[in-house]
Structure formats: C-alpha cells, structure tokens
Chains A and B, each alone.
Chain A
Amino acid sequence: MSVLLNIRRLRKYYPIFGGVLRRKLAEVKAIDGVNLKMYKGECFGLVGESGCGKTTLGKTTIRLLDPTAGSIYFEAPDDVMEEIDKLENSNEDSARLKELQKKYDLAKYRGANLRTLRRKMQIVYQDPTTSLNPRMLVKDIVSEPLVTQGLAKGQDRKKRAIEILDKVGLTEKHLYRYPHEFSGGQRQRIAVARALVTNPEFVVLDEPTSSVDVSMRAQLLNLFQDLQKDLNLSYLFVSHDLSVVECIAHRVAVMYLGKIVELAQTEDLYKNPLHPYAQALLSSIPIPDPAVKGRRAMLSGEVPSPVNPPSGCRFHARCAKAMQICSQQEPELIDVGNGHMVACHAIR
C-alpha cells in the first residue's frame, strides 16, 4: 500500500488571551507532536476521551485548522520522502527542501493550492442537524462544493447531485426538500453526499454515528464501508465509540492529551493493548453479554488540563505502572513489531 498522508511532528496550540491588553497568557496544547502515516484505501481509526485532541487532529490534517508547527505530506512518493528526510537531517536551509515542501507539504499550502486541496479532502461532521444549513434545499447543499470549486454547471451539476445522492441511498425525489424533513440517519447521508460530491480521496469522519440511533448506526457504517470500496476512499474515522471503531477501522491510534500513545492493527490493539492507558480505555467498554462480569481496570481521576500537561509521560500520574523515569522523560512512539507502536517506558 502506498502512503497517502505522512504527518510529521504536528502541533496545534490554541492561544488563551486575557488581561486588559488581550495578551497571550497560555496555550492549550491540543496536538503536541504527532507522527502518523496513513495509507491509501485505509480506514484509520482515532480514539480517545473527549478533549484529547482527536477532532483537532482530524481538522488540522485537512487544513481546516492551521497547524502551529509540523508538516503533513500528502501523496508524496517514496523517493521524494527520502530526499526530504535527507535534506531535513542535513540541517541546511536549502532551496530544494523549500521547493519540495511547497509542493507536497500541505501544512504550507496557500491560496489556489489550498483550494484545489479541498477537492481531495473532505469532512463529515458529528451532528448533521447543525452541519446542514436549514434554509438550503438538499439540491443546493449537495451541489454547493461543485459551485465553489467551479466543477460543474447547470444540468451537469444537478445530474452529479442526483448521482451522488443515489450512491448514499437517497433518490431524486429528495432533491427539493429541506434538511428538517429527514430523519437523523438520512441527514447524515446528505452530509456524506456533500462530502463525496467532489470525488475526494480522503474523508475525515468526525464521530459520524454518535448522533444516530443504534439501528441507523449499522446502516450508516455499512454505507461507509460500501462507499470506501466503490470509490476507493481513505478514511480518518474519529470516534469515542470504541466498539464501532473496532468494526470499521483497519488500524487504530489511541490518543491521550494531544499525543498518540499506541497505534496498531485493529485486531492487535483490541486483543493485546500494551499501553496502560489503552488497556484501561479498552477494558472500560461495556460488553453486551451479562455472563461476562468484573474484569475491569478502572482509571482513577480525570484527564489533566492540556494547558499544563504533566511532565514526562502525560499519563504517569494516573498510571498504575508508573516508574521514576516516567515523570522525567517523555517516551517515544516505538515499533514493537508488526507495526504495533507504543509510547511507554515500561515496554521496551
């Protein structure tokens, strides 16, 4: 599989302003040094508690938010990546590196480049009742990306809208209706249609099933899987619903306080989580089987503030296996075999 996205040392800080002069007082470190690779045609799951930076990572990846630092290489061929690595390591201010970054690093995209990028990367938001404009017809909602991108006009535009509605399980007769006339699941389908109308390659699904019912959830997940196969899409599936991610994602990353603590193939991660936080998180999923009871690792306390994250390993204050080194040195994300990456001092 070829690499679609290569995220390097990505940071996103939100400033907190205060005082009489609106000075910058502190920063919320929403993403603090994330390294990731996403492959073509993959569904990459991103899980973690609320406030750990999952949504920020999703939005920064497609440049809906500007990263504070770091780079996101999009569709960069392997040889180009090697060259970039070499140039970066040489620590020189070379014009070649700048040129390559301008071409491949979408963290540095501006203007027309960024606009064309929007065609290739799209997002489906959490709550379709708020992400769809209540005063626009479905036809206008779905074809709006075509208008802003200047991709189709007149009859063509309508034809394309019908085509994409058909793909998400809606029909032509839904074109001239308003979002409020649909059920929650159908609204989410409209949001999906809007995201897919420009033929993107990469779609961020930001908790797409959290606002729909159990029975509709299954239908939506099936739709995502079918669309992925049909249109050869890559997904970043952000969710706090761990059981859904287990079923749909190929690889999963667990985030904690702006950092990725563990990353592995879905099966590896769910069967054999290594990081203490991942273990606690996964064991707190309620299992729908009354015969299984009492084998829970309960976490005490709450997630610390991302304004002043703890020193060293960010989890050390809540970790049962914390050692001396944990509070001093930040663990690196290292491969322990078979693409299973963990950031923990206890695992070497």
Chain B
Amino acid sequence: MTWPQALQEAIEQFADVFDPMERYEMLFEWASDVNELPIEEWNDANRIHGCQSQAHVECHMEDGMFYMRGGADAQIVQGLMAITCLAVNGRPPEEVVAIEPTFVDEMGLKASLTPSRSNGFLNMFKRVQDEAGLLTEGA
C-alpha cells in the first residue's frame, strides 16, 4: 500500500529512533497534530472501548472523502490517533475500509505498545474502518 507522504515521513522518522523514551516523546509531540475532537463532543457513542485512557473518535465525509477527528486524555494515545489521521484522512472511504494497518509494523510501534495499548490502538483502527464502511454504504 502506498501511504500518504506525511505518513511515510512519520514512518521513517519513527523507525529511525530506537530509544523507547524518544519514541514516546515523538508520539507525545504528534498528539498536537491530531484533527482534534474537542472534549465537549466526547460521548459514549464515540468512545473507543478497550483503551485504558479515554479515547474518542468521530468520522465524517468531506467532498466525498473520509475524515476522522480524535481526542484522548492520554497524549500518547492522541499521538497514535494523529498517525491514524495521516493514514486515513482524505481517502475514499472504501480505501479506508481496505487498509491493513501495516504501518504499525513499519514504524516498529508494536514494540512500543503493551498488549493492552496495542489492542486499544487496533480497536480504534477497526472502529475507524467500521465507520468508513458505514459511510461507504450510505454514499
């Protein structure tokens, strides 16, 4: 799969860093790059279950393309959302449905995630894809 340039750059940047602390710092910094879902819009319907922190995702269409907004109380989670935004935003929803999140492996993210956190990340990604699927059906 061809990733958007911004995500490709993020993949290469992250993969070049081996120190766990530096990796977390990068995710922490990327948190501010997310298409933010403000806290006022957090609700049970857009909550991602399976995360230890509170994580919320909202998905919609703009000019026929898929977009997600995300928000979390943990900055590292929000950083992961920012990466996900790079992978999915601006794509046709049917492409989002078909994405295999291999960028997680390419970045070496799994090594930085405990099972609970990576399950939370995969839960979020699946949720985004499910939302894309619904938007595809409704199109």
A, B assembled together: no
Give the interface of A toward B (CB within 8 A). Answer: none
